[in-house]
């Protein structure tokens, strides 16, 4: 499977993008390109071929979580001496309002998980982490199997589970 998204670059017009959540819109408009330039995150966009508009975007960064946060059922085989566990952060995922409710969020999520899975062959990553903005976002990720981490707003999906999607 090849990717449906492409890396954000200066050819993309971000000006009219609006997913309805100011935090995600402002980030995309004002900060995403700087973050990419500084290697703080990678940003990928989906282009609607009919209108040439950006229908959605997501960001990925390397990250880690404390071993203590990982639910017991997933950490049986993790060495106890590893205090933090390498992960990939799917920091933001947003679909423009004009394109919501058409299955594009699902497509973008799968595309991001595929990138994470491919990367985990080169750089170890035990799971993909998301940090949902609100309950609505939490419900979306829960639908796709993300598990809430204790004492944290974050959710995670083990790479082992993601592997089953692509193999």
Q: Which residues bind ligand COA (CB under 6 A)?
A: 19-21, 24, 92-95, 100-106, 132-133, 136-137, 139-140, 143
Of 12 and 92, CB closest to ligand COA = 92
Active site residue 3: no
Q: Are 110 and 165 in contact (CB under 8 A)?
A: yes
Torsion of CA 85, 157, 100, 111, to 10 degrees: 80
Q: Kindly state the smallest distance separating residue 148's Cβ from ligand COA, in Å.
A: 14
Measured from the Cβ of residue 6, the count of other Cβ atoms closer than 10 Å reads 12
Q: Which residue reads 């199997």 in tokens?
A: 145
Minimum Å gap between C-beta 104 and ligand COA is: 4
Supply 26's token pair. Answer: 């402002």
3-class secondary structure per residue, 23-34:
HHHHHHHHHHHH
Query: Nearer Cβ to ligand COA, position 75 or 131?
Result: 131
Annotated catalytic residue: which of 27, 58, 141, 144?
141
Nearer to ligand COA among residue 18 and residue 67 (C-beta): 18
The residue number whose beta carbon is nearest to ligand COA equals 105
Whose Cβ is closer to ligand COA: residue 19's or residue 113's? 19
* Parallel, antiparallel or unpaired: strands 155-158 and 127-130: antiparallel
* Cβ–Cβ under 8 Å, residues 129 and 155: yes
Q: Least distance in Å: CB of 76 to ligand COA?
A: 30
Instruction: Tell me which residue of 150, 167, 143, 158 sits closest to 76, measured CA to CA.
Output: 158
Q: Least distance to ligand COA from the beta carbon of 65, Å?
A: 17
Q: What distance in Å separates the CA atoms of residue 55 and residue 51, rounded to the nearest whole number?
A: 10
Q: Which residues are catalytic?
A: 141
């Amino acid at each position: 499977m090849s990717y449906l998204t492409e890396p954000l670059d200066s050819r993309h017009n971000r000006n009219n993008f609006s997913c309805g959540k100011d935090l995600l819109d402002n980030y995309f408009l004002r900060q995403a390109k700087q973050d990419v330039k500084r290697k703080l995150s990678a940003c990928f966009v989906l282009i609607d071929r009919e209108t040439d508009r950006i229908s959605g975007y997501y960001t990925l960064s390397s990250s880690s979580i404390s071993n203590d946060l990982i639910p017991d059922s997933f950490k049986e085989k993790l060495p106890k001496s590893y205090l933090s566990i390498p992960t990939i952060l799917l920091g933001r995922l947003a679909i423009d309002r004009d394109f919501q409710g058409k299955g594009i969020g699902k497509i973008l999520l799968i595309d991001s998980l595929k990138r994470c899975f491919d990367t985990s062959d080169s750089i170890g990553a035990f799971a993909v982490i998301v940090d949902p903005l609100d309950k609505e976002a939490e419900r979306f990720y829960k639908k796709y199997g993300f598990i809430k981490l204790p004492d944290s707003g974050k959710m995670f999906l083990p790479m082992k589970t993601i592997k089953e999607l692509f193999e």
